[in-house]
Amino acid sequence: MFHRTLKQFNADRAAANERVLATAHLGIKRFFRLDAAAYEEGPLPGRVKELCGLVASAVLRCNDCIDYHLEQCAKAGWSRAEIEDALNVALVVGGSIVIPHLRHAILTLDELYPPEASGGPAA
């Protein structure tokens, strides 16, 4: 099973976002801003919104989105156990079709929280 590392994912994402945002299309720029604003502090804390984004991404079966939200969840201070619990919700909501994306998420979590280490995310 091919698994792109977080380092490669972030490099690919940054390069592609740069190209997308270089377009002159106002609608695209507005949507990107709307997406960023959705995760800002509000009645729900931003860190909770990231966990919601992770669950939605898993149910929608988007590995790029899963990687992005896993990294944001780790940065927001969620523990591996808390993230795995949220992924269980995604599995229950999405059903067995989510299993390949759960496998992907666990491999990414192994990068963020190395199995030999316990506690917070890897530096």
**81-91 confidence digits (pLDDT tens):** 999 999 999 99
**Is the CB of residue 62 less than 8 Å from the CB of residue 29?**
no
pLDDT at 8 > cutoff 70? yes
73 assigned to some structural domain: yes
**Is the CB of residue 70 less than 8 Å from the CB of residue 90?**
no
CA angle, corner 12, sides to 47 and 42, nearest 5? Answer: 20
User: How confident is the model at residue 120, as a pLDDT?
Assistant: 60
The rounded distance, in Å, linking the Cα atoms of 111 and 101 is 16
Q: What is the CATH number of the domain that holds 106?
A: 1.20.1290.10
1 assigned to some structural domain: no
Closest CA to 55 of 11, 120, 105: 105
User: Per-residue confidence at 60, pLDDT binned at 50, 70, 90?
Assistant: very high
Which residues constitute the domain of residue 54? 6-112
pLDDT at 110 > cutoff 90? yes
Closest CA to 67 of 121, 38, 109, 97: 109
pLDDT at 76 > cutoff 70? yes
b/e burial code for range 12-29 (CB count within 10 A of at least 16 → b): eeeeeeeeeeeeeeeeee
How many structural domains does the chain have?
1
Closest CA to 57 of 43, 71, 77: 71
User: How confident is the model at residue 118, as a pLDDT?
Assistant: 54
